[in-house]
Structure 1
Amino acid sequence: MSSATAPVRPVRTAAGEPDLAALRAAVRDWCAANVPDGWRERQTGASHDEFVEFQGEWLAALRAGGLAAPHWPADRGGGFSLPEQAVIFEELARAEAPRLVLHFVSLHHAAATLLGAGTAEQRERHLPAILDGEVWCQGFSEPEAGSDLASLRTRAERRGDVYVVNGQKVWASLAMYADWCLLLARTDADAPKRRGISYFLMDMRSPGLTVRPIRQAGGEEHFCEIFLTDVEIPAANLIGAENDGWRVAQRTLNAERGATMVELAERLAVGFGWLVDLARRSTGLDGSPMADDPVVRDDLARLATEVRALRLLAARAVAEAESGASASGALASVIKLYYSELLQRVTGYGVEIAGPAGQRAARRPMSAGWESGAWLLDFIGSWEWTIPGGTSEIQRSIIGERALGLPREPVLA
């Protein structure tokens, strides 16, 4: 991968304000020079080793271009404001650049946790390593603690200078590649659920730790189970205070609600463009292009309107976050809910338009977004989005309580 242009830096007007138009042009030029040609073809059917190598090379290219961590502080290689971050993610999506799938948790969740709650030693140990390619996974959910994360049962017992951990985690994305894990474990069984949880940095090479990939309906092994048997974690790897892990975890979860939603919205817009092209190429029973069918045109118009609405919601979220106007968190839930279900509608319609030919076994490119053009596999994978990060049911409850002022749901015995 080349680095044919200078690193992208924040651009300011004469008045000291962000010059978003100039930044957009700079990112667009960088993408034109650095997005690898033919990467989708090379990543389709790639081996695990080829995927890891490609992701490392793309991280290095983005880092050299100043675009790997625009949301980090300036002295850490970032320094871009939220609107500037949105511009960067928009242009990467529009250029159909690869996603840093393998390094997402590292650059966003781990970094946000370390910057917000980590010690100076923890930050200096891991932040430079993350930019060098250190891979992180997230050990939050458990078989009986998904949406109700506070009911987790993994236990961590303090024994001198270490915590001894026993339990099981599930849905840990790409944990088979991870060097480190953001781990939640219960350290006080008698405390109220949210007050007895602690937050740890766990070395994935620790004795007693087993990772088992979960094969999904589309044939991928994106998620993993993690089994912990007497795993020792140094007390120095505790993030925040003991039993204060729930509060720290909110910082981790909030990392999903930044300008990255702008990227997801833009990538879905790109995917919708592929859907329109598919309708133009596909023919109906009478041999005419499906895009000429009035029903198909109405369906595409409806989806186009919904995609546009998602992009506007993401832009509104960035504007509110920049101004400090939004405090309820309800807008983030609206966007997450709307995106996840719209992703299903767009990819599902792709399966419908593709017809029987689209039902054949296919492969989707690794390092791609959630919409790759392999419509059947994209549709199967889209269902992941209505579950992690809070199910659609949880999001509706948050919207009802925080935005609409509805009473909280009763706690059933």
Structure 2
Amino acid sequence: MTDTIPAPSTIEQTESPLAFKEDLGAFRLALRSWIERTVPKDWRERHCGGTAEEFARFQRWWFDQLRAARLANSHWPVEWGGEGLSLAHRIVIFEEMARAQAPSAEMFVISLYHLPATLFAHGTAAQRERFLNGVVEQGEVWAQGFSEPNAGSDLASLRTRAERKTIDGRDVYVVNGQKTWSSFGMFADWYLLLARTDLTARKQAGISYFIMDMRAPGVTVRPIRQITGESEFAEVFLDNVEIPAENLIGKENEGWSIAQSTLAAERGLIIFEAVERMAIAFEREVEMGRGTWMKDTAYLREFSALYVKMKSIRLLVRRMLKEVERDPHMGGSETATYIKLGFAVLLQAYNEFMLRVSGFDAQFEKPAIRSAGHHTANRFVDYLSSYSWTISGGSNEIMRNVVAERILGLPRG
């Protein structure tokens, strides 16, 4: 079921994949060679059930390899420090990474997608210079401070407060409040923060967007233990945290509209990698299922229906990427919302199906494989973790309301 690809060639082991970017076929082969010589063959076994600290060290190591090969931010425009690779090149990168079951740089998702999607469109030249370079040159980790205990999918209800003050001659915002569900917040250097700056305005109109130093006095970070036993998320407490006024993104009280650039990346661009990994996982399931559950006609019919849905979402992702190519600021569209909804439902159904057909042995607890995404063949952990996609970036229920009201123009019920 996989796409036909060229056979491996004898490309020099010392060459960088980007040295061959003018020829897409040669680029694919060079990338495949780079992955083979860079990714440890036993990395999955070595990082099965590892501690949070071991996970973070491995993630930083993997990001350093991507940075050294100039692959980490290759999707960024050239004028902002990237390689400006085409849609076709990006497809090749994710196909080859998925096919090789290479690690996912999940701790750097905010750094590589959410941050640039925000700063490209709304940041100042100084902000882009400092913080985009910080990712590329120093490997800085970013987290996102949007959701709150009482403001998740209804994000506009957030209560974290930012007051502008002059302290010791410095123009700052003093922030108080609490954020939750910040992915890898315990490892972050910087924070994309939404806070209320006008208590008298309607909900969306009184919100501003900030860059916050996670090491600033008054910031307390606590990991959240999940049902899988991992702590991917953190809650963040803010007690009189001072943010320099120059770290305001855009204009005061216009943070809500700016946040849509960030959320567009979450709902669309980062799904590209996830969908490619799912496509390869489907191929593995075919090989592993021959002679066992695939002999059952009902199971085969159910799996085939899931496969068709995966192919449909894969096509939607490519349509979305073509839209992004036409938008130099990486803006989102309604396609990203459709992809988010479809992929979340499919991922859940796929993992539930594989858990069911894998038999009783799959029900036993096994250590999770970190950095491997949602398709690790650890059926129970994959199934439990798949539910995060129906919540992140706005719950599916809220997203369906968005489609109904904003895209289809239906009246509010």
Q: Tell me which residue corresponds to 2:139.
A: 133
1:278 shift after superposition: 4.1
Q: 1:101 to 1:279 in 2, by over 3 A?
A: same
1:34 shift after superposition: 2.1
Contact 1:197–1:245 at 8 Å: present in 2 too?
Answer: yes
Q: 1:233 to 1:50 in 2, by over 3 A?
A: same
- Which 10-residue stretch deviates more, 29-38 or 327-336? 327-336
1:338 lines up with 2:342 in the alignment: yes
1:384-395 correspondence runs (5 A): 384-395=388-399
Q: Distance in 2 between matches of 1:192 and 1:10?
A: 52
Q: Tell me which residue corresponds to 2:3.
A: none
Unaligned runs of 5+ in 2: 1-11
Q: 1:83 to 1:151 in 2, by over 3 A?
A: farther
Q: Which of residues 144, 147, 172 is equivalent to 2:150?
A: 144
1:185-200 correspondence runs (5 A): 185-200=195-210
TM-score norm. by structure 1 comes to 0.89
Q: Distance in 1 between matches of 2:207 and 2:19?
A: 39
1:328 shift after superposition: 8.5
Q: Tell me which residue corresponds to 2:188.
A: 178
Amino acid at match of 1:359: Q
Q: Tell me which residue corresponds to 1:158.
A: 164
Q: Distance in 1 between matches of 2:158 and 2:82?
A: 36
Q: Which of residues 44, 50, 56 is equivalent to 2:48?
A: 44
- Which 10-residue stretch deviates more, 299-308 or 59-68? 299-308
TM-score norm. by structure 2 comes to 0.89
Amino acid at match of 1:303: L
Q: 1:377 to 1:328 in 2, by over 3 A?
A: closer
Contact 1:169–1:227 at 8 Å: present in 2 too?
Answer: yes
Q: Distance in 2 between matches of 1:47 and 1:327?
A: 36
Q: Distance in 2 between matches of 1:311 and 1:350?
A: 20
Q: 1:115 to 1:406 in 2, by over 3 A?
A: closer
Q: Tell me which residue corresponds to 2:276.
A: 266
Tell me the matched-pair count. 394
Unaligned runs of 5+ in 1: 14-18, 281-287
Q: Tell me which residue corresponds to 2:8.
A: none
Q: Distance in 1 between matches of 2:88 and 2:401?
A: 29
1:121 shift after superposition: 2.5
Amino acid at match of 1:46: G
Q: Which of residues 124, 128, 134 is equivalent to 2:129?
A: 124
Q: Tell me which residue corresponds to 1:8.
A: 17
Q: Which of residues 51, 64, 72 is equivalent to 2:76?
A: 72
Contact 1:279–1:353 at 8 Å: present in 2 too?
Answer: no
- RMSD of Structure 2 on Structure 1 (CA): 2.3
Q: 1:347 to 1:40 in 2, by over 3 A?
A: same
1:287-306 correspondence runs (5 A): 289-306=292-309
Tell me the percent identity. Answer: 48
Q: 1:4 to 1:50 in 2, by over 3 A?
A: farther
Deviations 1:168-192 (A, max 9, x none): 1111111111111110000001112
1:314 shift after superposition: 1.4
Q: Tell me which residue corresponds to 2:314.
A: 311
Amino acid at match of 2:18: R
Q: Distance in 1 between matches of 2:268 and 2:14?
A: 27
Q: Distance in 2 between matches of 1:77 and 1:263?
A: 18
